[in-house]
Amino acid sequence: MSAEQQEIATFRAGPIWRDANVRTGPSLDSPIIELLLPDDGADYRAEVWTVGEEVVEGVIVSDIWLRLSAGGWCSAVNFDQETMAQIPREAELPPGQVARADR
C-alpha cells in the first residue's frame, strides 16, 4: 500500500458560522481542547462523523459530531447546514468503535 493510500480520507466540513468548541469526544461533557472562531477563510475538513450527544443552537438541533482532520470533535450545529446535509454516509464511524481523543 502506498503512502497516499495510507492517508486518512477526509471530507469537507466547511467554515463555521459561530464560536465552536472542539472537544476530546462527541459529547458536551468531553473536555474542550480548542475554541474555533468564525472565519470565512477557514475551510475545515473532517475524517469521520458519529452520532453523539444532541446539541441545540436556536432552531438547529443535531446529534452529529465531526472528528476534525486537525484533531478533536465538533458538533455539526457549528457548520453550514446545507454542507452538513451532504457529508458522506460512508464516513460514519462504525458502531461500537471507540471514539479516540485527538490531542
Q: Report the C-alpha gap between 60 and 23 in whole angstroms.
A: 19
**If DSSP codes are grouped into helix, strand and coil, which group holds residue 41?**
coil
Distances (CA, A) of 96 to 6, 51, 65, 68, 99: 23, 11, 15, 19, 9
CA–CA separation, 100 and 72 (whole Å):
9
Residues of the chain with pLDDT under 50: 1-6, 101-103
Model pTM?
A: 0.85
pLDDT of residue 1: 33
Q: Is 17 left (phi over 0), alpha (psi -120 to 50) or beta?
A: alpha
- pLDDT tens-digit profile of 43-69? 999 999 999 999 999 899 999 999 999
